[in-house]
Homo-oligomer: A and B are copies of this chain.
Amino acid sequence: MDRPKIRLDKKLVDYARQLAKEITDEVQQMIEQHSTVSVERTVLRLFGVDGVTDDQIPLVNVVVDKIKEWEMLQDGVAKPFVNAMVVLDKSAQQIAEAIVDGLDLRSLPRASNEKINMKMLELSRQSLETISKKSQQREDLLKELGDPPQPYKYLIVATGNIYEDVVQARAAVQQGADIIAIIRSTAQSLLDYVPYGATTEGYGGTYATQENFRIMRQALDDMARKVKRYVRQVNYASGLCMPEIAALAAMEGLDILLNDAMYGILFRDINMIRTFTDQYISRLLCAFSGITINTGEDNYLTTADAIEKAHTVTASQLVNEQFALKAGMKSRLMGLGHAFEIDPDVEDGLLYEIAHAMLARELFADYPIKYMPPTKFMTGNIFKGYAVETLYNLVSVMTGQSIQLLGILTEAIHTPYLHDRYLALINANYVFNNARHLGREVIFKKDGFIEKRANQVLREAVDLLEHTRDVGLLRAIEEGQFADISRARDGGKGLEGVFRKSESYVNPIQDELEKRLGVKK
């Protein structure tokens, strides 16, 4: 896409990346030493364990909790679990069910290491095979139907009821949506399990479950074939179940996952070590299955001021980038986030927005960056909101953004109604088409406000990264450097689910992923 260019201080850009690398190198060492209950449940899911108990508790939770109770968790669930499969000659699902019914793994004889290792390898390869196939199917469909032009029009559905969501999503696709995300029910991210089955009762969104993924995938593929345009499906791998959701998404062929290295810490008060560890495994899965991640830097601007704290977005993007690289992700999967969140009543606010959008675009030139709409300053005046969205869409098409989360005129009132989404599409379709090649007509003045502002934000980001490098990322978060929110390293939710790996810890899925992605060895 043709778009205007601005000149960034090249040295500063390189320096910023170097800083982010150093920051994340340090955290990565800590990640290597830990695992979490969710990581272990992910292993079981990929081995094929599914379903819930009569009390709606996922079998994977029961198994991991039991193994923890038996004080065998520090070695990882894989070995004891696969041992049971080998000695009892049962499937993973059967072993899990047996555990629910009272099977105590401590009571079992131990098969030879070789046998266990072979079985683990077999199970891991099988499961990665399944995922590979799924992701190949997606690729094929994308090729068959064709990729819509960017910015992709991304819309959310959030009725709380998966069946209503389907109705709304189908209509949205017909109206022109390229990407459909189902917003999750409030506080699902704080559940330390993934709910099960098709759900019809959510608040502010619909539960992310494997079955809901499947139902929506089916609906979107149907529609995609009907409108002859590939339609991407999005959900959230944030919160206490990051790697599990990534696994389910990979199995069900989702295209994009919200996934941020720090979002859970800052915005859901989830423990830092938990989040950093979980995000790594979840990103290995995304990298392997070709799932694009979308980071959540937009959230910084909903709590802090969008002009004052613009540089925190940039700093966080660079950190997210380095974490993603460590998980073997390619830039084409890194949908780093930013947002159009400046108070619309600020004089020359639009010039700031353009500068910020250009900065993100230049820093991550070929990445599928994600541009988030005005939300904080949307009010009950749906008309004014609609005008603000018009300029948002204009900035996006002019500066060549990749993924455009469409603004909803009722943002301040309710989760979107059917026609709220329709109106969002009308706006985007109008602006994108009417200003299609504006980007190649417009030049921003050399050393003008926009160029200066972009470099200023970059410089402030470097200052923040320098400080973060000096004190360490954990400390910086404790200081409240990001989003004005301070979190303690030993605080937050889910800490009890983090454990230090023993010397003999094994995670065959992780090993296999790292090997295939060339991340290690």
**Copies of this chain assembled into the complex:** 2
Residues of B within 8 A of A349 (CB): 433-434
| 9-residue interface stretch from A17-25, A239-247, A265-273, A444-452 | A444-452
Tell me whether A350 is interfacial, beta carbon within 8 Å.
Answer: yes
Verify if A471 is at the interface (C-beta below 8 Å from B). Answer: no
The docked-state distance in angstroms from the alpha carbon of A57 to that of B435 is: 54
Within the complex, the shortest CB–CB distance from A340 to chain B, in Å, comes to 11
Q: Please, what's the 1-or-0 string for A293-337, where 1 marks a CB less than 8 Å from any CB in chain B?
A: 000000000000000000000000000000000000000000000
Q: A423-B383, A443-B445 are in contact. Are A438 and B351 (CB under 8 A)?
A: yes
Q: Is A388 an interface residue (CB 8 A)?
A: yes
A441:B450 contact, CB within 8 angstroms: yes
Interchain CB contact (< 8 A) of A430 among B345, B431, B436: B345
A407 to chain B, nearest CB (A): 11
For window 178-203 of A, CB contacts with B under 8 Å fall at: none
How long is the Cα–Cα vector from A378 to B438 in the complex, in angstroms?
23
Q: Which residues of B contact A441 (CB under 8 A)?
A: 351, 354, 444-445, 448-450
Q: Among B354, B387, B434, which residue has its beta carbon within 8 angstroms of that of A347?
A: B434
The yes or no answer to A440 lying at the interface (CB within 8 A) is yes
**Residue A384 interfacial (CB < 8 Å):** yes
A434 touches B383 (CB 8 A): no
Known: A344-B434, A390-B391. 14 other contacts (CB 8 A): A347-B433, A349-B433, A351-B441, A354-B441, A383-B386, A383-B426, A383-B427, A384-B423, A386-B386, A386-B390, A387-B389, A441-B444, A443-B443, A443-B445
Residue contacts A-B, CB under 8 angstroms, 18 given = A344-B434, A348-B434, A348-B437, A348-B438, A350-B434, A351-B437, A351-B441, A386-B386, A387-B387, A387-B389, A387-B426, A387-B430, A387-B431, A391-B435, A441-B445, A441-B449, A442-B442, A443-B445
